[in-house]
Amino acid sequence: MLLGVCTLVFSLIHLIPGDPVQVMLGEGATATDVSDLRTRLGLDRPLVNQYAQFLRHAASGDLGESLRYREPVRSLILSRYPATLVLTGASMLLACVVAFPAGLIAAVHRGTAWDRMATTLSLLGLSLPNFWVGPLLILVFSVRLDWFPVSGMEEPSAIVLPSVALGTALAAILARMIRASLLEEIASPYCVAAAARGLGKWRVVLRHSLRNAFVPVLTVLGLQLGVLLTGAVITETVFGWPGLGRLTIQAIETRDYPLVQGCILIIALTYVLVNLATDLAYAVFDPRVRHG
């Protein structure tokens, strides 16, 4: 998968219009200056040779040198990656805090006003894209109410609006998934038998159903974490968050080939590792997987 990502990104970034050398030197640069810089950067060699060199260096952890910043790509990524992880973790935490109670209440009180309200709010959350929610939050809570900073991460409260914008859709997906999974477990024979023995509805759910219902929810969590990383590209740009997503956009705008390739490769690597951790976590929550 990582090899496929490397190949695809390398091909696309070199095929799109635009010359990084021209961007670096400006429109007033002479043809000689452009040719000399292209030779020094190795961009005059065949794409096959450039691709082979990129793979050799990437295999040893060397992602090259940024054309714009003239710094190692690895150093730039390491300086920005923690900010993206903080934003992703805060968004995931917010989504779980909202989704789990909402999904539990909707499942236990199925067909009631609580269920309809939770379902409606989750549908609304799914329908609002983060590139629209972000500017709306800025207008209301930063410009009009002046409760939170507009951009940056200098103040601790700066994490609130980006995490809300990024975690809204995830909270909606999780709430619907928790509700559906719990309803399936509540209707299973072991839960019906537990209720027949006189156990209350909440006790049946919390003691018997919740752990088994969490297995499909765990799958969604693992997949959505990768979505959060890609969604952070837009959210970080809107809120001026100094993370890996914003760095990727800046690299694309300046045609910084090594930096774009490095950023996308790290995002893909994180996604692969998260999915691996999700597969391993199945054994913790589902004894059938562990014993099988």
Tens digits of residue pLDDT in 14-62: 776 666 666 666 666 677 766 776 677 666 777 788 788 878 888 887 8
Q: What's residue 200's pLDDT?
A: 67
Q: Give me the torsion for CA of 145, 147, 151, 154, rounded to 10°.
A: 160
**Residues 86, 178 within the same domain:** yes
Tell me the angle at which helices 73-108 and 244-253 cross, rounded to the nearest 10 degrees.
130
**Residues 90, 40 within the same domain:** no
CA-based radius of gyration for the chain: 24
Domain of 45, in residue numbers: 2-59
**Residues 248, 161 within the same domain:** yes
Encoding tokens for residue 276?
Answer: 């691996």
Tens digits of residue pLDDT in 198-225: 666 667 676 667 667 777 777 778 777 7
**Residues 163, 283 within the same domain:** yes
Beta carbons within 10 angstroms of residue 135's beta carbon: 14
**Residues 84, 222 within the same domain:** yes
**Residues 32, 87 within the same domain:** no
**Residues 12, 131 within the same domain:** no
242 within a domain of the structure (yes/no): yes
User: pLDDT at residue 144 above 60?
Assistant: yes
Separation between Cα atoms, residue 260 and residue 77, nearest integer Å:
10
Structural contact between residues 254 and 23, judged by C-beta atoms closer than 8 angstroms: yes
**Which residues, other chains included, contact 132 with Cβ-Cβ below 8 Å and sequence gap of 6+?**
none
243 within a domain of the structure (yes/no): yes
Q: What's residue 27's pLDDT?
A: 66
**Residues 158, 250 within the same domain:** yes
Q: What's residue 20's pLDDT?
A: 64
Q: What's residue 111's pLDDT?
A: 75
Tens digits of residue pLDDT in 82-137: 888 888 888 888 888 888 888 888 877 777 888 788 778 877 777 777 778 888 88
Q: How many domains does the chain have?
A: 2
275 within a domain of the structure (yes/no): yes
**Residues 185, 226 within the same domain:** yes
Q: What's residue 289's pLDDT?
A: 62
Q: What's residue 45's pLDDT?
A: 74
What whole-number percentage of the chain has pLDDT above 90?
A: 0
**Residues 163, 95 within the same domain:** yes
Going by C-alpha positions, the residue among 2, 3, 19 that lies closest to residue 257 is: 19
Its pTM stands at 0.77
183 within a domain of the structure (yes/no): yes
Q: What's residue 291's pLDDT?
A: 60
Q: What's residue 71's pLDDT?
A: 85
Going by C-alpha positions, the residue among 139, 120, 149, 134 that lies closest to residue 231 is: 134
The CATH code of the domain that includes 155 is 1.10.3720.10
Separation between Cα atoms, residue 156 and residue 149, nearest integer Å:
10
Q: Label residue 287 by pLDDT band (50, 70, 90).
A: low
